[in-house]
Amino acid sequence: MGLQSPGGTETFRESGTPGVFTVGMGSASVIHPAGYLLTIDHVVSGAANGRVHLSGKAPLPFRIIAGMSSEDLALIKIAPAEPLETVSLGRSDDLLLGEPVLVIGSPGGLAHSVSKSICTRGRPK
């Protein structure tokens, strides 16, 4: 079974010139089988419309449920034909300095990008 939870978002914004749109792309993660995804607020906020691309599935339109610009997070919803596999979310309180971190996504449309790093800063008190 492949990794089904990461997806990509594709958004369209009016550019200011009639009939011309700006395309944005980012990453999203399925956090609920009913089609709720966590993504990047600066990619989806203000979009005229957009689609989610999941591996092996046709693109689906999304609607924005909520956005938090201070954290650059957004919750979007798609209508899948069947329940989706979800990603397991961790807790930042459990993360230790020096612990390895792995990020999988589709930044800028680069499908299945993987970045590895280490946690270099603790949570602010």
pLDDT tens, 18-27?
888 788 878 8
> Does pLDDT of 3 surpass 80?
no
Least confident range from 20-24, 76-80, 82-86, 103-107: namely: 103-107
Q: What is the pTM of this model?
A: 0.75
Q: For domain 6-118, say whether CATH 2.40.10.120 is its number.
A: yes
What's the token pair of residue 83? 């329940």
Instruction: Over range 110-116, report the average pLDDT.
Output: 73
Q: What is the pLDDT of residue 29?
A: 87
**What residue spans define the domains of the chain?**
6-118
Query: Which of 12-16, 54-58, 105-109 has the highest average model confidence (pLDDT)?
Result: 54-58
